[in-house]
Structure 1
Amino acid sequence: MSSMTQTTPAKHPRRESERGFTLVEMLVVITIIGLIMGLIGPRVLNYLSESKTKAARIQLQSFSSALDLFYLDVGRYPSTSEGLAALAQRPAGLNTWNGPYLKGGAVPKDPWNAAYVYRAPGDHGPFDILSYGADGQEGGTGTAADIVLGTQTSARGE
């Protein structure tokens, strides 16, 4: 019988720079990252939705100030049909209008990219301004709740 010679590949010693991660180590790291995201992710999303609500409230206050300036110049608040657009563009027949009363000369949309709703007279004062929130529909709770600015004090002291 002929003898078979087996050759084994020469083992190269691993260098320090050639080290890698094992599959188990990678799975452990991915699991830890997943757990952290599972715990922290909802809080981050909650902060983001709260910041949109706060931004909407700030815009509503800005509208209120602009509406008071409009009132001081014109002697009345814009009608519901004139809406918030009366703060950016002169309504027909108003010679005492000294606007635009909003920066940029345009009415911004709410943080959810929907138009604000303006009513005059309002349920809470001479005007109401509101955003329908995240769901874009009247009513709702949580992040979908309406954000309403009903002013009790205005330029005419009501």
Structure 2
Amino acid sequence: MKKQKRAFTLIEMLVVVLILAILAALIVPRVVNRTGDAKRAKAASDIATLTGLLQQYKVDTDQFPTTEQGLNALRVAPGDVSNWRGPYSQKDIPGDPWQNEYVYESPGPNGEDFVIASYGADGAPGGEGDNADITSL
């Protein structure tokens, strides 16, 4: 007796491909959205760290860096500041997760001591979702 080789039919293969496509359509958007959530969380964490470093800067110098001095004042002593005991950060000041620089203003636009912001994925003020601003306020 000769055994017949059994193979999948074209219909069976199409059903499997269809099931895989449906699963991918359900899973991929969730995974992609998680990446955006992780980037927003990283930006918020960086801003919190920079806020702490700026507080230490103020304890030593009795002022926050000006907008012109920027966050670089945490790494390099501004020429006109006394009692600077830095560098306050051992690493370079990071860019945000979207490869843009954090925006620093001191004083802030509404009278705050300072504001640190990431403008999100689009690098422009405002926006929603991945393009939403993340600030120290």
Q: Which residue of 2 aligns with 1:53?
A: 40
The correspondence for 1:120, drawn from 103, 106, 120, is: 106
Q: Which residue number corresponds to residue 13 of structure 1?
A: 3
Is 1:44–2:31 an aligned residue pair?
Answer: yes
Question: Which stretch shows the higher mean deviation, 117-126 or 64-73?
Answer: 117-126
RCO greater where, 1 or 2, for CA within 8 Å and sep 6 or more?
2
Unaligned runs of 5+ in 2: none
For residues 50-108 of structure 1, the C-alpha deviation after alignment (integer angstroms, 9 at most, x for no partner) is 1111111011000100000110111100000000111122222334212221241x110
Identical residues among aligned pairs (%): 40
Per-residue CA deviations over 1:21-66 (Å, capped at 9, x if unaligned) read 4433332222111101111211111111111111110110001000
In the alignment, which of 58, 64, 69 is matched to residue 56 of structure 2? 69
SS of residue in 1 equivalent to 2:12: helix
Indicate whether 1:31 and 2:18 are aligned: yes
Question: In 2, distance between residues paired with 1:107 and 1:100?
Answer: 11
Question: What SS is found at the alignment partner of 2:55?
Answer: helix
Aligned position for 1:108: 94
Counterpart of 2:117 in 1: which secondary structure?
strand
Q: Look up the SS of the partner of 1:57 in the other structure.
A: helix
Normalising by the residue count of structure 2, what TM-score does the alignment of the two structures yield? 0.89
State which structure, 1 or 2, has the greater radius of gyration over its C-alpha atoms. 1
Give aligned pairs, total.
136
Distance between the aligned counterparts of 1:142 and 1:81, measured in 2? Answer: 30
| RMSD between aligned residues | 1.9
TM-score scaled by length of structure 1? 0.78
Structure 1 position 112, deviation (Å): 0.5
Q: Name the residue aligned to 2:131.
A: 144
**Any runs of at least 4 consecutive aligned residues in structure 1 with deviations exceeding 6 A, and if so which?**
none
